[in-house]
Amino acid sequence: MTENTASSHKRRIKSFILRQGRYTRAQKNALDHHWKDYGIEFTDSFINFEQVFGRDAPVTLEIGFGNGDSLLQQAIEHPENNYVGIEVHGPGVGHLIHRICEKQLSNIRVIRFDAIDVLNKQIPDNSLDCLQLFFPDPWHKKKHNKRRIVQAAFLQLVRSKLKTGGRLHMATDWQHYAEQMLKLGDEADGFKNLSGIGQYTSNRSPRVETKFERRGLKLGHGIWDIKHEKTR
């Protein structure tokens, strides 16, 4: 790591706290023996998706996939697409790789690193067909709102990575965060709201229900999905 890179890491406010937790035997085994098959190491070089997957196909990138069950189901239901998931939580990464092995999937890969660094350093411009951000940490205390990943600069970074016509699909169970996502997305240059300005979408597809969504529903939270398309 260069001195400049190290300085930028110190300056930038992180949108997550690294909570590793305990690994199950299956998760540890997956990381130890199958990372080489499904993991993408973080480097300063752009990923060649066609080379990684051995084919040219639409690419969906999901940031913060948790335990990966939603992303896995999408990969099963849409074998015509390629999927890349970013997650810093080790047990979650191990869980997803374990499930990929069980299902013998070839259209999904995993990156275990800070999503902002990955977007800046590894994802080529105009390369993604869809970027998904489902139930990110809401940082619900007002003094912590600045830690939320969805900010104006983040949306422009995402726009640079999407193809024209590519989609940004966000979802949250925190109303205040949903309002922020919607407002910033509607105001962002080069995006249009697929449901109309100021509107959430009632169509969550291709997102499948996650444990975070179920937890939110049990707590009486609403669920808000927001879809924007890159226009230029």
Catalytic residues: 137
Q: Cα dihedral sign for 137, 142, 147, 148?
A: positive
Residues 4, 128: Cα–Cα separation, whole Å: 28
Q: How many CB atoms lie within 10 A of CB 192?
A: 16
Residue 175 makes CB contacts below 8 A (sequence gap 6+) with 221, 222, 224
Residues 156, 117: Cα–Cα separation, whole Å: 14
Please tell me whether residue 95 adopts helix, strand or coil conformation. Answer: helix
Please tell me whether residue 51 adopts helix, strand or coil conformation. Answer: helix
- Do residues 74 and 61 lie in contact, with contact meaning Cβ atoms separated by under 8 Å? no
Residue ranges of alpha helices (H) inside the chain are 3-11, 25-38, 49-53, 69-77, 90-103, 115-121, 152-161, 175-187, 211-218
If you search the block for the tokens 């205040």, which residue do you land on? 176
